[in-house]
Amino acid sequence: MADTIKVEVFKGEGGQGAYQVFDVPRMESQTVLDVVTHIQRNLDASLAYRFACRVGMCGSCAMMVNGSPRWTCRTHVGDVVEDGCLKIAPLRNLPHIRDLAADLVPFFDKMQKAGGRFVAGKEVPQQMLNIDPQSPARVAVDAGIECIGCAVCYAACDVVAWTPDYVGPAALNRAWTLVNDERVADTGWHLQQVALDGGCTSCHSQGACSVHCPKSLNPSQSITGLKRAVAAAFIKGEL
Amino acid sequence: MDEFKTIETDILILGSGGAGLMAAIHSHDANPDLDITIAVKGLLGKCGCTRMVQGGYNVAIAEGDSIERHFMDSIEGGKWINNQDLSWRLVVEAVNCIAKLENQFGCFFDRNADGTVHQKAFAGQTFDRTVHKGDLTGIEIINRLAEQVWARGINRLEEHRAIAFVRDTSNTQLAGVVLINMRDGSFTFVKAKAVLLGTGGGPTMYRYHTPSGEKTCDGMVMALRQGLTLRDMEMVQFHPTGLLAGMDTRMTGTVLEEGLRGAGGYLLNGDKVRFMQDYDPRGERATRDIVSRAMYEEIRKGKTTPNDGLYISMGHLGAEEMARKFKGMVERCADCGFDLAAGLVEVVPTAHYMMGGLVFNEDCSTDLPGLFAAGEDTGGVHGANRLGGNGVANSTVFGSIAGVSMADYAGDADGFHDPDLTQVGAAIEAALKPFDNPAGDLNVLREDLLTLMWEKVGILRNADDLNAALVRLDELEDRLHKCGIGDQSRTFNLTWHDWINLESQIVVSRAIAHASLARENSRGAHFREDFPQTGDLEKSRFTCVSLKENQMQVATEPVEFTIVRPGQSLIGDDPVAAPGKEF
């Protein structure tokens, strides 16, 4: 293990800026977030970045690490360091605030644009319902529901980069969990939301979302499911 | 005075954990005409601790269980110093709240094979009542609530840090809150008819701690500075198994789940020898407080690991089985370079939760008109110890109640109150202070605070250490106020916020130390080596701290046994009547 790592960090505001190099001591237990923290605490007090939970539950700290989007809190330096170097930049495909912090507002707005919320029916049951955990629909919900909204898939997706309207993998993955939720009163409404411009038909099935998802979810598969459901609804004249 | 912008909103909510989000949704649904704003130190729904809930949500809905039983477990766990009316409200409303979370907001919790809700066993409870979503219950709740907030068009002030409550010109009513927009470093005064304190507690002033990194008890400090009273501040819960990976990583202190001990995991000292049987016949399966104390004692004896902690060992239970059963924990450790399934992982007890906080009423109002509070900022619900699974129930139940109370209050209000502008100016001036002094070493200050609290105000306490700590805390505050960050940009300046964080942490550390000194017995999470006895339950008192001219005042009040007295019970052979129920 080398004594130090050469770390290139993007510094600047509103998309303007340049990489600055720092030498950071290499530690045995050291994540990329620890590297960034070391720089802010010891080498450059002005360095801006975002983190919260420290353990891969909140999805606040994702950044581009050597060109790939990753949770920095759960990425061990030993897994990503190349020839003693690290290159850290703000998440791609999002407006830049300062240094390593990107603005996630468009990402969350698109979740809503894709209908990403549960809407109860007129009669809301007063007790928790009996629901079969093994039904195929419920299994499909479970497969996608543990998304923490870290925007790693959004940053990994080239279609997002090319098509600013595209709602992106996380928003569509959430929509798929709602389409499969037996408690949802108006599934047709969810399909309408994802059939709009920038919805599921914009996806080119490149699969970068599924490759990069730190939770090993498969948004690409969810989007395929939505495309089929939208097509079927269209044929039936429901859309 | 530095410039600031003014915003008006009917209801301002500080914090976006379970309390803040539930309050926003309930205020909106109670009165959709109200303008509601959530201000949060990080991103909405992402920072804070509700999200990090692994265990689950206690609620008495199973056949054979009862709210009376849930109540008695909470009172026994709280060692009889709870505010019983608040604890009762918790167990009653939790039943409605969990159904609403599922049926109205779209959460989905684990089911048994027959489709009924799965409820798991959790320490300190006489019934399996913890509803959960795998070991990621908090994420499910906060994800779904955040969606509901986004969908309702509630205003968001993200990366806005609250620094001070401001009263009206008559000094009797809350007029609004001063915030720093952390992204550009500007100041905003938000005028509001009702404000929720829902920023959460979080004992991050200890060397090893579990809460989210941005949490620094800012809300409690703001309340103290208004002369409001915090109760039970000595009650800091330590979790036995925090990950220990050295002081240079933010991983250190984060929780390795309770279930590891429950499943039969061993705790080993630095000689790789089990020790828990020397302290308790239940061994590693003893309760959180007992295991934490035993671990601390073992560490003090010097039988420690390379990073001055102990080991947890799971390998004897079968590495493959462990990798399957504790997938999340094993993966998290693996990402950080440790083999939890087959190897030894260093652990240390870690500060987890504050039972104490702002004194508040059943409708979530406080002694300051216009200010409401819910969640970990408040005290009284849990008494001397919180049951695992009662934390998220607390924040969501009282967040819902606060939402409705604030909608009523703001709806009835006769316009906004004119703020005392000198208070706004003073808050801004105080926040800008670190820019006036040359850059000092905040890292050393932080380390000194973390070590002091861990060693002198931590798991085992005594009068000499506590008195020494109070002197040292005053010195630390003095050093901080002489130490600056130099003349630099205010834009997204984390080092500036580190400074303010330390200021908040030192103030609340003093509150904890004073309350610990005032409690001359050992209850729940609080253990005094010089007063190891529980004391007479019938004469139980609770501690109150407040600030007067920057001097901490401490007092104790008798606990009112409004529902059940020590020796009585709401369940069993000879129950007393529960509120609203005649026997």
Topology (CATH level 3) of domain B430-558: Methane Monooxygenase Hydroxylase; Chain G, domain 1 (1.20.58)
Return the exposure string of A118-139: e unless at least 16 CB atoms fall within 10 Å of the residue's CB, then b. bbbeeeeeeebeebebeeeebe
pLDDT score recorded for residue B123 = 80
Q: Which of B28, B29, B41, B43 to mutate to test the interface with A (most CBs of A within 10 A)?
A: B43
- What backbone torsions phi and psi does residue B150 show, to the nearest 5 degrees? -55, -45
Closest CA to B375 of B220, B532, B253: B220
Interior CA angle at A37 toward A36 and A41, to 5°?
125
Residues A25-44: what's their mean pLDDT? Answer: 96
The CB-side HSE value for A101 (13 A sphere, CA atoms) comes to: 23
Which CATH superfamily includes the segment(s) B5-234+354-421? Answer: FAD/NAD(P)-binding domain (3.50.50.60)
Residues 6+ apart with CB under 8 A from B431: B163, B180, B187, B500
Give dist(CA A191, CA A229) in Å, integer. 8
In chain B the first and final C-alpha atoms are separated, in Å, by 64
Q: What pLDDT is attached to residue B122?
A: 85
Nearest chain B CA: its distance from A72 CA (Å)? 11
User: From A26, which residue of chain B is nearest by alpha-carbon distance?
Assistant: B248
pLDDT of B582 reads 59
Q: Quick one: pLDDT at residue B583?
A: 56
The partner residue sitting opposite A52, judged by closest CB among B46, B104, B150, is B46
- Please tell me the distance in Å from A130's CA to the nearest CA on chain B: 5
Contacts of B61 in chain A (CB under 8 A): 127-128
The band of A193, judged by pLDDT with boundaries at 50, 70 and 90, is: very high
Q: Are A192 and A234 in contact (CB under 8 A)?
A: no
At residue B291's C-alpha, the angle toward residues B285 and B313, to 5°, is 65
Q: Which helix (H) or strand (E) holds B374?
A: none
What local confidence, expressed as pLDDT, does residue B580 receive? 84
Give the global pTM.
0.97
Nearest Cα neighbor of B213 from A212, A72, A44, A42 is A72
Residue A126 DSSP one-character state: S
pLDDT digits (tens, 9 = 90+) for B111-167: 999 999 999 988 888 999 999 999 899 999 999 999 999 999 999 999 999 999 999
pLDDT digit string (tens) for B54-108?
Answer: 889 999 999 999 999 999 999 999 999 999 999 999 999 999 999 999 999 999 9
Other beta carbons within 10 angstroms of residue B82's beta carbon come to 30
d(Cα A160, Cα A198) in Å, to the nearest integer? 9
CA distances from B563 to B90, B182, B232, B386, B387 (A): 14, 46, 20, 19, 19
From the candidates B69, B89, B239, B497, which is the catalytic residue?
B239
Q: Give the number of beta-carbon pairs within 8 Å between A and B.
A: 189
Q: Is B257 on the interface with A (CB under 8 A)?
A: no
| Residue from B494, B497, B501 to probe the interface with A (highest A Cβ count within 10 Å) | B494
Strand runs labelled E in B207-323: 230-231, 236-243, 266-268, 310-313
Under 8 Å between Cβ of A223 and A203: yes
**pLDDT given at position B208:** 98
Distance CA(B23)–CA(B39), nearest Å, equals 13
Task: Tell me whether residue B526 is one of the annotated catalytic residues.
Answer: no
Q: How far apart are the first and last CA of chain A?
A: 59
Task: Write the residue in B61, B102, B249 that is nearest to A30 by C-beta.
Answer: B249
Tens-place pLDDT, residues B243-267: 999 999 999 999 998 889 988 999 9
Element (H, E) at B355: none
The ranges of chain B with pLDDT < 50 are none
CATH code at B240-350 = 3.90.700.10
A38: chain B residues, CB-CB within 8 Å: 248
Candidates B161, B143, B130, B160; CA nearest to B50 is B143
Q: Give the containing element (helix H, strand E) for A204.
A: none
Shortest CA distance to B305 belongs to which of B268, B356, B264? B268
Residues from chain B contacting residue A217 (CB–CB below 8 Å): none
- Residues in B closer than 8 angstroms to A50, CB to CB, are 42-43
Residues of B in contact with A124 (CB under 8 A): 100, 103-104
Decide if the complex's ipTM is over 0.90.
yes
pLDDT at B124: 82
How is chain B split into domains, by residue range? 5-234+354-421, 240-350, 430-558
Contact B399, B22 (CB under 8 A): yes
Domains defined along chain A, listed by start: 4-102 (3.10.20.30), 105-235 (1.10.1060.10)
In the annotation, is B183 catalytic? no
Calpha distance B396→B94 (Å, rounded)? 8
- d(C-alpha A73, C-alpha A99), whole Å: 17
- From residue B582, give the alpha-carbon distance in Å to each of B61, B88, B446, B569: 21, 16, 55, 15
Least CA distance to A111: which residue of chain B? B147
Residue-wise pLDDT tens digits, B512-541: 999 999 999 999 999 999 999 999 999 999
